[in-house]
Amino acid sequence: MERTKDGAPRSTAFASAQEVARLAGVSRSAVSRAFTPGASISEDTRAKVEAAAAKLGYHVNHLARGLMRQKTGIVCLVVADIHTPYLSRLLDHLSRALQEAGNVVMVLNAGRAAGNVEAALRQTLNYRADATIVLSGTPYRSIAQSCLDSGQRLVLLNRDDHLPGTVNLAVDNARAARTAATLFLRAGYRRLALVSSAIGTPSLLARRRHFLEAASENGVAVRIWEGGATAYDSGLQGGTELLAADEPPDAVFAVTDLLACGVLDAARRRFGRRVPEEIGVIGFDDIEQAGWASYDLTTFAQPVGEIADWTVRLVAGGIEAGMEDRVFEAPLVWRSSVARTV
């Protein structure tokens, strides 16, 4: 920070409100008002301020503004596995919606390590975020509690521990999983299987549980394969092992589209199974690849648009205002990986 000999303002690249005021021939307060929607200021002085600001290339310093106002405008998104189709799409919608509502989004990539979450939490606090949204499925109890303690607004996506003061947004996993089972049974499949990862995310667990329940209610047993990450490779391996077994399944519900694509490739490419005639597959998420010709997977769509819109409303309106937890429908997307009911 350099300073001229005579004590004149240092030569930053940024103009300050002070300088704008000087040039416009108004007070420092007037400049503030010109950039505060709804502030009482005459058209005349506003025009003068705007002219001076434009000339000087002035940009309100939101750091300083955040110091005085209630809001910093910052919303933190805590997320792992950003590169995943579902999460990156959600991130896309969320960040766009949040921006349109006048917020700025800070992404805290929590990775997989537990320690990173603590770091993310600290940043959230250090930058005085107005709200933080946890997208990941792993239960970040510590981060949740600390944010609440600091009076931050907290939205939890796809989690099942309902911390008081928190808003929980989820998808109707139960309904979808039951639908999957019903679809298989109605179409005549009988040797059901479920493929999941070793990751015990609340969503994944819910899908698993309800699929099993629905099958059991119909007197049908379900083979279960679980392992690895929630990724294509796991699905490929799971599908392969399932089909190599003695009584291979003729229908598998993969708890995620990524897994489903792997299962599909195992079935078709490694075992030459015809889909959906010899084996039916259903996934979850409706990622882009589910619609690709090589897969054409029947699945359930994540309502990312609705989730994003609702989140924005929560962040803007506050959770006290009668807002509550919400469960979104995940509509079935019919494609060709399951035989249709006759």
Partner DNA sequence: CTGAAAGCGCTTACAG
| Total number of residues shown for the chain | 342
Q: Within 10 Å of residue 319's Cβ, how many Cβ atoms?
A: 17
Q: Comparing C-alpha atoms, which of 177, 184, 295 is closest to residue 232?
A: 295
Among 7, 38, 115, 151, the residue binding its own copies under the rule CB under 8 A is: 151
Cα(159)–Cα(137) distance, rounded to whole angstroms?
6
Q: CB-wise, 40 or 274, nearer to DNA?
A: 40
* Binding residues among 61-120 for DNA as defined by CB under 7 A: 61, 64-65, 67-69
How many chain residues are in contact with DNA, going by CB under 7 A? 33
CB of 59 vs DNA, minimal distance in Å = 7
Cα(37)–Cα(339) distance, rounded to whole angstroms?
58
In the list DNA, its own copies, none, the entry touching 44 (Cβ below 5 to 8 angstroms by class) is DNA
CB of 30 vs DNA, minimal distance in Å = 4
Residue pair 330/301 in contact by the 8 Å Cβ criterion:
yes
132 phi and psi, to 5 degrees?
A: -135, 140
If binding is defined by CB under 8 A, does position 36 make contact with its own copies? no
Residue pair 133/79 in contact by the 8 Å Cβ criterion:
no
Among 44, 246, 277, 324, the residue binding DNA under the rule CB under 7 A is: 44
CA 186, distance to chain mean position in Å, is: 33
Among 5, 38, 43, 126, the residue binding its own copies under the rule CB under 8 A is: 126
151 phi and psi, to 5 degrees?
A: 75, 20
Which structure tokens are listed for 223? 């083979």
CB of 126 vs DNA, minimal distance in Å = 9
If binding is defined by CB under 7 A, does position 150 make contact with DNA? no
Cα(226)–Cα(239) distance, rounded to whole angstroms?
10
If binding is defined by CB under 7 A, does position 55 make contact with DNA? no
The residue ranges that bind its own copies (CB under 8 A) are: 1, 12-14, 57, 59-64, 66-67, 70, 72, 81-85, 87-89, 91-92, 95-96, 99, 104-109, 111, 119, 122-123, 125-128, 149-152, 232, 236, 261-262, 264-266, 268-270, 288-289, 292-295
